[in-house]
Amino acid sequence: MTGLRQSWVESANDPETDFPLNNLPYGVFSTDGKGPRCGVAIGDMILDVAGLEAEGILSAGDPPVFSEPSWNAFMELGPEGWAGFRGALTALLAEGSSLRKRVEPFLVPMEDARMHMPMAVAEYTDFYAGKNHAMNIGIILRGPENALPPNWLHIPIGYNGRASSVVVSGTDVRRPWGQLKGPDMEAPVFAPCKRFDLELEMGAIVGVPSNGPVTVQEADDMIFGYVLLNDWSARDIQGWEYQPLGPFQAKATATSISPWIVTKAALEPFRASTPEREKELLPHLVEPGPMIYDIDLMVTLAPEGKTPTVIAETNYNRMYYSAAQQLAHHTTSGCPMRVGDLLGSGTISGPVKSERGSLMELSWAGKEPLELDSGETRSFLEDGDTLTLLGAAKGNGYRIGFGACSGTVLPALDDPYAR
Ligand code: CA
């Protein structure tokens, strides 16, 4: 495994930074007086690549791709274009670069920047591909005998979500209203969600389009990069609506993503294998090599005005299915995939309680409220709570970090139908 690559941007050589020269993740930022534009994180700075392109100092090819505040045009260049640009960017920021003097004016302190969506999400699909999570939810809802649905060990179960509700970290999330009906209620009511929850996930971003079925290897080659993803979930709305077609409004309020797209290239040294198969997969879903990643993940919860408590710590390599398998499965019907498609991994939970990636599991549907460091307890999210997802692949003397994926729960509005 390679070590830390030295950069002339000094803060990038700190072994604790999320953004060393080995990482170079892609985002969209704005500053006072200048609107959203493409940037690359390096140490505690952002490199304004839109500015560099406009000045003719750095280019990803012709025509220019950074004039729009999104990485979609760059993704359209495909894997060869991605690799060429990453090589040029690495040389530009490496120790001893002859272009340092010309590049330095295009560095913006991260603390002076505001982050935006790094791309236009084409479509959003969410999966249910973590076995520990599926087992926990199955036991809570159906009991230990039928915890896993019969198809679960054969296909990565998914549903089509809404691209329109994907938001960048730092966006507040309003508690939704919906139809709720508990087992001891006679009739449903329309009310604010009482069981608002998080789901700790990774998001995979498709960078190459397809039109027809692809293999798992082709799917892996189509993936551009990864983000942290919190799939906000209204458990009580879901409990009433999801039969028989799965979640709908319960998952449509918001899905938060971290602002930096960490490229597959940066994660390459951290490839890992998914767990051993419990049932042999059909050939079209078999992985030809390691396609999950060793990425440590953490969730913190901070009540309003209080310090955060770590409520879960796990690893992306707990997933039973990789994003490449999910993407291959997604195309089996001939479903075309587009540049900018976002695939949610499904909730990531490990085998022990401290690794559970949702409050539904952590509080066992409210039966075992969680104790926070502030002395408060939580079964589900309360108004004012701030959730933060963090993640990093840890190398020898460096880390490939994702930055934070945060959101604060705002109280429900007054009855939206009261006129
Ligand atoms: Ca989910």
Look up residue 105 and give its two tokens: 């004016």
Predicted pLDDT of residue 74: 98
Q: Which residues pair with 262 in a beta bridge?
A: 226
Known catalytic residues?
A: 133
Do 376 and 255 fall within a single domain? yes
384: left (phi over 0), alpha (psi -120 to 50) or beta: left
Domain of residue 321, CATH code:
3.90.850.10
CA dihedral 146, 249, 198, 147 (to 10 degrees): 0
Mean pLDDT of 176-202: 96
Per-residue pLDDT tens over the stretch 33-55: 999 999 999 999 999 999 999 99
Residue 339 scores a pLDDT above 90: yes
Per-residue pLDDT tens over the stretch 141-164: 999 999 999 999 999 999 999 999
Domain end (from 116, 149, 172): 116
C-alpha 165, offset from chain centre: 14
Q: Please give the share of the chain, as a percent, with pLDDT higher than 70.
A: 100
Residue 419 scores a pLDDT above 80: no
Do 56 and 169 fall within a single domain? no
Domain of residue 105, CATH code:
2.30.30.230
d(CA 229, ligand 1 centre) in Å:
9
Domain end (from 96, 116, 136): 116
Predicted pLDDT of residue 1: 53
Angle ∠(296,297,299) on CA atoms, nearest 5: 155
Burial (Cβ within 10 Å: 0-12, 13-18, ≥19) of residue 336: exposed
What is the number of alpha carbons within 13 Å of residue 348 lying toward its C-beta? 32
Closest residue by Cα to residue 393 from 402, 382, 380, 383: 402
Do 136 and 282 fall within a single domain? yes
Mean pLDDT of 270-294: 97
d(CA 333, ligand 1 centre) in Å:
22
Quote the strand ranges of 117-199, DSSP E.
Answer: 124-127, 158-160, 166-168, 173-174, 177-180, 189-192, 196-197
* Pairing relationship of beta strands 124-127 and 342-344 according to DSSP bridges: parallel
Is 419 a member of any domain? no
How far is CA 125 from each of CA 179, 277, 323, 337, rounded to the nearest angstrom? 23, 24, 11, 11
Do 106 and 203 fall within a single domain? no
Is 1 a member of any domain? no
Domain end (from 88, 116, 144): 116
**CA–CA separation, 61 vs 65, rounded Å?**
8
d(CA 27, ligand 1 centre) in Å:
23
Residue 260 scores a pLDDT above 90: yes
| 195 DSSP assignment | -
Look up residue 365 and give its two tokens: 């549907």
Is 417 a member of any domain? no
d(CA 343, ligand 1 centre) in Å:
10
pLDDT band at 67 (very low <50, low <70, confident <90, very high): confident
Do 202 and 278 fall within a single domain? yes
Residue 231 scores a pLDDT above 80: yes
Answer for the pair 287, 216: CB distance below 8 angstroms, yes or no.
yes
> What's the number of domains the chain is made of?
2
Do 96 and 134 fall within a single domain? no
Per-residue pLDDT tens over the stretch 75-98: 999 999 999 999 999 999 999 999
Look up residue 396 and give its two tokens: 């020898």
d(CA 93, ligand 1 centre) in Å:
37
Per-residue pLDDT tens over the stretch 371-404: 999 999 999 999 999 999 999 999 999 999 999 9
pLDDT band at 61 (very low <50, low <70, confident <90, very high): confident
Is 5 a member of any domain? no
Predicted pLDDT of residue 183: 86
Is 418 a member of any domain? no
d(CA 195, ligand 1 centre) in Å:
15
Q: Which residues surround ligand 1, an ion (CB under 5 A)?
A: 126, 199, 231
Sign of the alpha-carbon dihedral angle for 15, 20, 22, 28 = positive
Looking at per-residue pLDDT, the higher value among 33 and 360 belongs to 360
Do 234 and 216 fall within a single domain? yes
Q: Which domain holds residue 185?
A: 124-410
d(CA 376, ligand 1 centre) in Å:
26
Mean pLDDT of 132-144: 95
Do 89 and 217 fall within a single domain? no
How far is CA 166 from each of CA 39, 300, 384, rounded to the nearest angstrom? 20, 20, 20
The mean pLDDT value of the chain amounts to 97
| 103 DSSP assignment | H
Q: Which residues pair with 400 in a beta bridge?
A: 393
**CA–CA separation, 380 vs 6, rounded Å?**
44
Closest residue by Cα to residue 303 from 216, 376, 394: 376
**CA–CA separation, 388 vs 237, rounded Å?**
23
Residue 70 scores a pLDDT above 80: yes
Mean pLDDT of 188-211: 98
Mean pLDDT of 98-117: 98
Do 177 and 315 fall within a single domain? yes
Do 147 and 109 fall within a single domain? no
Is 20 a member of any domain? yes
